[in-house]
Each structure stands twice: as C-alpha cells, then as structure tokens.
Amino acid sequence: MKRRNRNLCKAALGWTLAFFLFHSLLSHGQTAASAAAENKPRISIALFDVDATPPTGSLLAYDPMEKSGDLGLRAKGMVIMGSGLPVVLCAVDWIGIGNESQDAFKQVLARAASTLPERVAIHTVHQHDAPVSDWGAEKILVKAGLDPMAFESSFDKVLLDRLGKAVQNALNQVQPVTHLGTGRAAVEMVASNRRIAGPDGKIIHSRTSATRDPDIRRYPEGLIDPEVSLISFWNEDKPVAVLSYYAVHPQSYYLTKEANPDFPGIARYLRQLAVPDALHIHFNGAGGNITAGKYNDGAKENRLILAQRLAEGMRKAWEATEKTPLEADDVYWHMENVRLPANEHVLEIEDEMHQKDHRWLTNNMQKLAWYKRQALGKSIPVSCLALGKARILHLPGELFVEYQLAAKSERPDLFVAMAAYGDYGPFYIGTEKAYQEGGYEIGASPVTPEAENMLTQTIKKLLHAETTNPSPQHALLTVQNNDDHPTFVRTLAQWEEKRKAWQHGMEKIMGPLPSPGERDKPDIQWLDTLYAKYYNRYNIRFLSDDRNEVTAFLYVPHGSRANPGMLVLHSTGEPGKKIVDGQSHLENRAVARELAERGYVVLAPDYPSFGDQSAHDFDRDGFESGTMLGIWNHIRCVDLLSDMEEVDPERIGVIGHSLGGHNALFVAAFDHRLKAVISSCGWTPFDYYDIGEEAGKRYGGRLGPWAQERYMPKIKEFMPDKKLPFDFPEIIALVAPRPFFSNSPVNDSNFDVEGVKAGIGLVEPVYRFLGFPDNIQARYPEAGHDFPSETRKAAYGFLDKHFGFSPIKLLDDE
C-alpha cells in the first residue's frame, strides 16, 4: 500500500509538471506534439562502392589472374540508419565468402558503421572468374602443410581495409530517405533449371551455365523464379539506391583468367547508366539449381545478350515500381541462428585434399571448414530486413530456387525478396526431395535432407515475426541531445556509452572493478578427484589476486574437447559449492552436476564466506564490497575455463540460483566472454524488493539484506528509500543481446514476480531493438523460491540451443 501511495504521488507530480511544461511550450509558440514531431527518428542511408578486383598475378577461384575486365569487380553496399542500430547490406562480385571470412567481413563493416556484426549481411554475386574467401579453409590447408592457393587471404585484408574506410567516408555523406519503392518484372530467356530428370525421377542431365549439347538445351525451362525484384530508396522524387534480386548462376562463360563480373555485372552497369543518381546493388537469389544453360551454349556473344535481357527485366521492374512513405517504425531487423545438419562424408575431404588439384580444393575446402565449425556448435545467421511491406531475406549457401518460391508464396501479401550466397560454407543446399533424386548438386552438398525443414521453418518464422519497434521514448534506449530532447540510440558507440554509464552506476555501490590488464593464467592446485560415470570432478583452488583465492569444483566430462563451459554459482548457504553438487538438503539445486552429466565443462566456485571460504575476512580482501570481489573471482573463473583445451572459449555461459542468480547477472554485465546467462530466483527491480516490516526492522530497512558485509555495504547510505544508481533492468540490458533466461516463480518470497514481469517488460524492447527478440525468455512456474525440474529442463534446452550442443545425458522425461 505504501508503494502504491508513493506511485500515486509521483504520478500527481508528473501530471503537474506536464501541465506547466505544456503551457511553457505554448508560450514559446511550440506544442509538445510539434516538438516530438521534430524529434521523430528518420531513415537515412550511406552508400559505398569499392573496387574488389585483386591485382594481376593473384589466384582467382579457379585460375591465376592474368588481367581484369573493363568493369572489374565491385563491392557495393549501404548502411541504413534511423531504426535501431545501423544495418549494413553488402554485395561483392566474388564467388563466395564463407565461415571465418564471413566473421571477419561482418566485424570490419560493423565496426566502421558503429553497429553489431549480427546486423550486417554480406553476400556474393557468385561470378566464377573472381576470388573466393574462407579463412577457415586457409587455416586447414596451411596446418596440413599445403599451399592455400585460392584461399590465400592477402587481398581479403586489402579489400577489408578498403571497405572499412569506404563505410566511414560514406557516413559523412548520409542521404535522407522518405520513400521506399518496390517493383517486379519477368526476365525473359535467361534462367533455366539445371536439373533434368529421367522417367524414374532421377537426375540424368545437369544443364550447366554453358550447355553445348543442343538436345539438353531443348528440354523445357523447368522450375525457376522468372522475376527480378527491385527495392529502391528515395528522397522524395529522387532515387538514391536500387537493390535488385534475381536467382541464377551468373555465368555465361568462365575460366578466362580475367576477373570480370559477367552478365549480372554488365546488367547492373547498364541500369546504373540509365538511372545515374542511384547506386545500383545486385544480389543473387536462390540460384543453386538455376543456370542460363538453356539459353547459352557458351558463345562469348551471349554474355552481352544475357546482360541485356536481365537489364530489360530490371527496366520493366523499375517502371512498375510503386512508392510508399518510409518511416523509422517501418524498418526492422530480425535474425535467427540456424545450425544446419552435416553430412558425415564431408570429413573424407580431409584425407583427399592431399592428392587433389587447385580447382577441386576450391570446391571442397570451405565445406570442410564449415563442417568443423558446425561440430563446434557454430551456427549460421538467417536474417530478415523489414521495410514497410517489403521483406528481404538473407540466407547462406547455394540454395535451390524452391526456397525462394516458398518464401514468396508464404507471404503473398508482402513484397518478398531473397539474397542467397551469404555464408558460402554450406555450399549447395537442396530440398529434401532433391536428395532422393541425386544429381551433381546433391553429390556436392555437405548438408543432409533435414536442412530443408530447418530453413523453411526459419523463413516462415521471420516472415511472420512481429516488426514493431520500441517506443522512441523508451528509457533504456534513449540518449540526450544538446537541446535536452531524448532521442533513440542510433549507433553502437552511443549504446556503449549507455553501457558504460550503467556499469559505472554498479561500481558506485559495489566499488571499482580491478583493471583487467595482463592477468596471469590461474595457477591451479589440484586437491582431490572424484571419478564419476560421466565426468571427473576435481576439487581445486587458485589465487584470483595477491590477497584472495578461489576454491571450486571443476567438472570435466570424459572425452571432452572444445565443449561448452559453464560457470555455476550457488545460492546462499554454508555448504557453498556443495549445494550445486547436490550435497545439501535442498532439492533442485544440483545444477553443476546435471550440466556436467550433459557434457558441459563446469566450474562451481565458493562465494566468499561460504563453503571453503567460510573464514573469509572482508576487511582485508582489498575490495569495497563482497559483491565486487565475487565478480572478480568469477571473472578469474572465466579466465580458467577460457584457457582449457576441453572448453570452447566462444561457448561459455553462467547460471546461478538466488545469490548465484544475481551474481550471474553481475559478472555477465562486466564480462562479455559469457555468451549466455541464466538467473534463477535472482532478481527483481529494487522498488519491488520488500522483505516485510519485521524483517525490515531487523536489517535496518527494506534493502537491508543487500547491505550486509558480504554483499554491498554502501547500500546502507541509500536506505530506507533513496534510489540506487543501478537496477536490474539496466543490468539485463548490459547482458543484451546475449541469451538471457530468467526462472521467476510466482510464489518467490524473496523476489517479487510482478517486479520481474515489469523488468522483463522494460528489457524486452532492448532485445527487440537489437534484433534478438527470442534471446530473452522468462518462466513463471507455480513454485516458491525454487528451480523446479521442468524449468531447469527449459533452461538447459535454452543453453543447448544457443551453444549448438547435443547433450550426452538428459533429465528424466526431457
């Protein structure tokens, strides 16, 4: 009741201030509504166009390069700003960019555009007289003592430098966007299906890009997507940029030793001449089983003919373009990670590569690199950019055209375009039916038939996803302008400034986090070992600094190598780490043991003053709070896990219950190496924390339990009701967009569930703003201060999914 009265008083004060503010604005000739309109986010774009042609003497995908064609190769793209963090779209005239190279290109473009790598889509047009890039394939070849040949990455780094500088320069020439244009038209006599089946349904002919056999050319065109799709950006009546999408293998002829963009590049150039004010960027669609083979016998004259036909389709689509206003609320980015199923035969490449030639390696090594990444739980992003009624899907590999047609038919009410040839690692991705039919593409595919269902479900989810952006007035997403009007966070730099402010707020109460500097590798003392069915459990200790030590259980599953790692933090209780090992009267707490049985490498430390740290002296540890000492010790635990060969340092998470639940959030707020966070019964906003009148008297106030010596003594200065300089919604926002799972039972007497729901309501828009709405999940079981089995199953499944991990042992009925 007191809280309600407080809130009513605040509301009354707010209404009074609003009244005077309104009349103040009127006296200056400006209403609140007009001020908001002036401050409304607007869409703008920055364009870049870079020479992507390697120097003479370089290795193209299949041959040494002797010269460059008149047009050369380009890397073209745009940065879209004004709705969430910037989005970067880029198309490169290369045959493929895969695996670690995708990571590198996205990181460089994201850094230049001040955004997250997850908001970058980079695709190739897939011309064959062009380079291929895959740093993972290069590493495999070099490690095997082989020449990396086409995968040698020197020019990759040159292009990356050019792209980074071009994006930074483009941001100085930003252009406003007021309207979006969409148009489609048929392209005549270019695309044909390359797979020709016999009477039994098996593939008997492959109609290649240049099909010299007239009998094969005479077969029907087959299943294609005949349309080219155009999406254009306008500043009122001026076109600024045009994106085109068409599904076909982009070869008229190749193996010329001349770097050239082939007929799609020529078509793009012709349209650039026709509409010179707009930058033209072309993306290849799902053309894995589509070539120009029916209409091309390889004659060199056909390159221009095919280019003119594609350009004519682009012209018709341009003339059919319909313009609609484009506001910031109309633009939304959404991403889903997909872990495609791998064909085990891919491993045979590792044995064969020592006997094969340059061209064979070009077609196969990226598949092996992808397989190895997949085995480590690495996933591939599939993203969707919503632009009003338009949707642009970004997908990996050489997809069959059926995926593109299915996407369009899934949402006939929308304008759907697809860019394939994103991550080139998975190479050909057919349909389930195609894997029964056989053919070249299927024999070369490194994925299994189950890939179709995975991708189809992901495409459907993205096309049906909510595309509502958070309010521009959302407190966690705003920054102050010089005129004191709040605006949306628009760049990663602004977001990082907010993050630093929230961390600083935590340090005001917890004390400063020690400077990371150069930390020594933890020097472990091995005290004893327990051999269990699924793991070895080691009792260890190590110094976290010159005054403090960590005592912990370390669980190493049998045969583990590059497995996910988990930092497991116990709840309040004298047994300390023994609680999460199941050595207490508390049920549903043996999280460390259960995760180790699943196959996770687990480190479960004692919190200072519990377990083997029961004699800890807080007056002599050198920290202003036990909480910050806990954060520091837990960071040192991550150091240890990151250095173990049994652990994949890119797959380390943290989980805790109660005391461990908020400590999991605290350490993740400062340590980005923790890629997933699970907090059980660990938090509620401080306004909702209420231990009752009698307990409040015992502890000296409502927040008294937080102000104990082992936690944050400085909170005493803010009791009984002063506002703390940090709160849990801000801490969870510090975790975003990393996966976060909250177990918050409805009858938890420690942490008010209504406060949790309010806090989740504040943070969900942050995850949506960053493009990861599914990365935040909360469960509200009918339970008290507990971590019931059904919720633990959900939490463990959440971890398994995000780490791409198949557990060895499941909980009962899981």
Q: What is the percentage of the chain residues whose pLDDT exceeds 70? A: 94
Residues whose CB falls within 8 Å of the CB of residue 463, separated by 6 or more in sequence, listed in order: 384, 391, 393, 407, 410, 411, 414, 416
Query: Smallest Cα–Cα separation from 454: which of 804, 704, 132?
Result: 804
**CB distance 293 to 306 below 8 Å:** no
Residue 22, pLDDT > 90, answer no
pLDDT, mean of residues 698-717: 90
Tokens of 703: 């927040």
- Per-residue pLDDT band at 28 (split at 50, 70, 90): very low
CB proximity list for 397: less than 8 A, separation 6 or greater:
288, 420, 421, 422, 423, 424, 425, 426, 427, 428, 429, 447
- Alpha carbons within 13 A on the beta-carbon side of 436: 7
Band of residue 67 on the pLDDT scale cut at 50, 70, 90: very high
Average of per-residue pLDDT across 682-693: 88
CA-derived radius of gyration, the chain:
29
Least Cα distance to 78 among 385, 361, 305 occurs for 385
d(CA 112, CA 169): 9
Average pLDDT of 315-331? 96
For residue 484, the model assigns a pLDDT of 59
CA distance 139 to 146: 10
What is the DSSP code (8-state) at residue 621? S
Average pLDDT, the chain: 92
**Single-letter code of the amino acid located at 358:** H
Which residue type does 388 have? G
HSE toward the beta carbon, residue 422, CA cutoff 13 A:
20
CA nearest to 664, candidates 566, 756, 753, 746: 566
Q: Over the stretch 137-191, which tens digit does the pLDDT of each residue have?
A: 999 999 999 999 999 999 999 999 999 999 999 999 999 999 999 999 999 999 9
| Nearest-angstrom CA–CA distance, 391 and 333 | 10
Nearest to 654 by CA among 548, 744, 715, 569: 569
- Mean pLDDT for 671-676 is 97
User: Is the omega angle on the peptide bond into residue 426 within 30 degrees of 0, that is, cis?
Assistant: no
Q: C-alpha distances in angstroms, 484 versus 125, 346, 728?
A: 46, 59, 26
In degrees, rounded to 5, the angle at the alpha carbon of residue 333 between the alpha carbons of residues 331 and 338 is 155
Q: What pLDDT does residue 482 have?
A: 60
pTM, rounded to two decimals: 0.91
In whole angstroms, give the CA distance from residue 721 to residue 458: 47
> Per-residue pLDDT for 813 more than 90?
no
The stretch 634-658 carries a mean pLDDT of 97
Quick check: helix, strand or coil at residue 690?
coil
For the segment 791-812, the average pLDDT, to the nearest whole number, is 94
* Cα-based distances in Å from 233 to 44, 181, 243: 9, 6, 9
Q: What is the pLDDT of residue 288?
A: 97
Closest CA to 263 of 309, 299, 329, 324: 309
What digits encode the pLDDT tens for the residues 486-500? 677 889 999 999 999
User: What 3-state class would DSSP assign to 451?
Assistant: helix
**Tokens standing for 36?**
């908001």
Give the pLDDT score at 449. Answer: 97
Which one-letter DSSP state was computed for residue 64? Answer: B
**Nearest one of 345, 251, 235, 221 to 62, comparing CA atoms:** 251
Distance CA 447, CA 283 (A): 23
Judge whether residue 324 has pLDDT over 60: yes
**Where does the pLDDT of residue 1 fall: very low under 50, low under 70, confident under 90, or very high at 90 and above?**
very low
Q: In terms of Cα–Cα distance, which of 129, 89, 75 is closest to 261?
A: 129
Per this entry, what is the length of the chain?
Answer: 814
| Helix (H), strand (E) at residue 155 | helix 154-170
Q: What CATH architecture does domain 489-803 belong to?
A: 3-Layer(aba) Sandwich (3.40)
Q: Measured between alpha carbons, how far is 608 from 626 in angstroms, rounded to an integer?
A: 7
CB-based contacts of 648, cutoff 8 Å, min separation 6: 376, 377, 562, 563, 564, 565
pLDDT for the residue 426: 97
DSSP 344: G
Please state the separation of Cα 335 from the chain's center in Å.
7
Q: Which residues pair with 228 in a beta bridge?
A: 185
Measured in whole angstroms, the distance separating CA 796 from the mean position of its chain's CA atoms is 20
pLDDT digits (tens, 9 = 90+) for 219-262: 999 999 999 999 999 999 999 999 999 999 999 999 999 999 99
HSE-up of residue 685 (Cα within 13 Å, Cβ side): 16
CA distances (Å), 602 to each of 214, 375, 377, 805, in order? Answer: 64, 20, 17, 15
- Answer for the pair 124, 92: CB distance below 8 angstroms, yes or no: yes
Distance in Å from the first CA to the final CA of the chain = 43
Identity of the residue numbered 533: K
Asked if pLDDT for residue 447 goes beyond 50, the answer is yes
Using alpha carbons, select from 471, 493, 476 the residue that is nearest to residue 36.
471
pLDDT of residue 695: 67
Domains of the chain, residue spans: 44-464, 489-803
Band of the pLDDT at 418, cuts 50, 70, 90? very high
Q: How far is CA 56 from the centre of its chain?
A: 36
Question: How much is the average pLDDT of 585-590?
Answer: 93
Which tokens go with 344? 């085990």
Per-residue tokens: 407 = 């996407």
Higher per-residue confidence, 618 vs 29: 618
Q: What angle do CA 18, 4, 750 make, to 5 degrees?
A: 130
pLDDT exceeds 50 at position 10: no
Q: Note the pLDDT of residue 456.
A: 98
